[in-house]
Structure 1
Amino acid sequence: MREAWHTNNKKTYIIPQDLTKEEIENHKQIAKKGTFLCPYCKAKLYVKSGEIHGNYFSHLHSESCEESKKSDARHSQYEKQKKSDSSRHPQILAMMFDELDVLSKVYPHLSNSYGYLNPEFTKFIPDISLKINEHIYAITIVTNITSLTDATKAKNIEKQREYYTALGYDPLFFIERSNLGIDIDKQSLVLWASEKEALTIQNADENWMSFLSNLAPVNELQEVLNLPYTDLNVKSIMYITPADQEIAIEAFHVVEHPNTSPVKVHFLSKPYKLNFSQAFKLANDILTLANLQIELENQSKYSEKFRQAKHIYQEEQKEKEQQVKIDTEHKRKSAEEKSRIYREGFKNNTYNTLDKENKVDRLKKMFNSNK
């Protein structure tokens, strides 16, 4: 097992896998002195290390208790689940977990643990299980999306989201930022299928939907701002910076384009970076995952953008209407001219009235002679 109760620090300790030989020996020594206990049965634990299992804790004679066996099974399931992730994943996870540990000291009602330590998860295991009073989250970091891994990852994310939701958890997916792709219009993202499945609706998205509905009717927004012709269901996609940079989160508020391949989504405002203390602020025990002040400023800018675009749109419509009138008048005059020319041609035609009278007289004579 990877976890143990540290008797002096009074908290769960996860044994690192990158220990040096000296550090491993030191862990073994303090374990012999009773530093580590089983979190489940409180038995004394020993430290072992090997090429196959890495660094781990063990009961005396490897006689594990039932709960620790279940924990080992969850960890094995988790390892299989994360097999296709990149080598950067553990580093990003460690930094996120450390940040949440700090927040738990600021917010006593917030607690976090590694997903495999939560016995509720069996079928799928998130990276982190987070609890804020009664509100619970299942957090997953997604890395190493390629053309070869995308389809499988997308299906797994879909299943995970359904599974976590059924358990009462709010699923959150953070995509490694190296997968971010902005389209050439500079107002849309091109997504892997995995990224599409990672879209979620956060409080900030609901605020955007309310804002848009109060700004103008949907069809007017679509015409004026060239928004996708679909329901304006705003969602978030959240990116997390790579492990070699200062950890930060960027959230795009997006509307999906229908029937696009690859998937394309229109983002409503430029994203901004948030450190964890900013992103994980709480509002009614719910993570904000946004800077509310910046969100209000962005919506104000969006209102101004709409006002200017609407003015331009109305002017263009006036020009089009004027052009239609000009074209209609031109067609009317053209039709009149054609009619005049036709009448003139008919008037000057050799087939005149005298010809008609002569033909009538000849017909009468022929008729009378036949009689």
Structure 2
Amino acid sequence: MPKISVSEVQGEVDYGKAAKEFGIDPMDAYLKKLPEAPAMYRRGLVFGQRDFQRIFDAIKNRQKFAVLTGVNPSGPLHLGNKLFIDQALYFQKCGAHVFIPISNDETYVFHKAESVEKATENAVNSVIPDLVALGFEPKLTKIFISTKTLRIYDLAVKISTKATFSTVKSIFGFTNDTNPGQIFYSIVQSAHILFPQLNGFAETVVPIGIDQDPYMRLVRDIADKLSMVKPSSTYHKFMPGLQGGKMSGSKPETCIYLTDTPEAARKKLMSAFSGGGASLAEHRKSGGNPDVDVAFQYLRFMFEQDDRKLAEIEQKFRSGEMTSGELKNYAAEKITDFLRSHQKEREKAKSKMEKFMIE
């Protein structure tokens, strides 16, 4: 039985079943209608939504809307984080203003950093330069550090009267051993999500994994009580870790960081879980399984934008014509090319950060 919670994901996720259980609607109706939809939409990797019609209408009618995607600065950004960021970049191309809360408070209260200061230091020295380097427009982007943004605290205090401990306990599974910081962070997260409305953006979309849906259920309930607009959300499938399972920044063996050298990233990928046959002879005879092959999935999620090329690679790997080593080498070239380019931009980004920051 798979386990899905805000703190962990275990086992193979049945996305259709989970969406039905959580009351998440399919994304299918919008996949072919979105303008210049990126690969993750065309390929059904973004599978669910809540109230996306309002966002679709805003895009279609060129009306104001915002996209919010938060970052936990427990360590360097990794490819799984890039999945959220790529969606935010797409919506920005569609006219959205982007809000990015850096949740250094979450990092600390969930014991992912020894102090708030350490989490903040990592945000400033690593996370924010990476975000800026990925290509956001400064005039359409607002990055803020949670504990340094007074308006977030003010909003969180107001929100706190609109939820009960019984509600957050049932949604997040809190126990008597849960520290009060984690309990209050559920309210702070709601403040992050509603924050664009304080800046004049009624419509907000939040791209998330299905494990983060409890936050959306809570904030939508709170928004109702505050007579604010319920935020919309989209849900994407999990990008697999290097050895299968969910990619996690707190588990270095599962992910490729945006700070990894191209050589280190290649080495990690060449050791990643493969869907190839146990031997070359068996692979040539029976073919491979791209559905579980990490290198293929990385191409599918973000590193091969050409649908025809991806289909060709899939066919060759399934038939045994392409070996696991050849597939990994192809994916490694794509990933290392990205890292080389990104890391050059990252150095330039350090002098541009102030243009993106708000307090």
- Which structure has more relative contact order (CA 8 Å, sep 6+)? It is 2
Same fold (TM over 0.5): no
TM-score of the superposed pair, with normalisation by structure 2? 0.25
From the CA coordinates, give the structure whose radius of gyration is larger: 1
Structure showing the higher strand proportion among its residues: 1
Could you say which structure has the higher helix fraction? 2
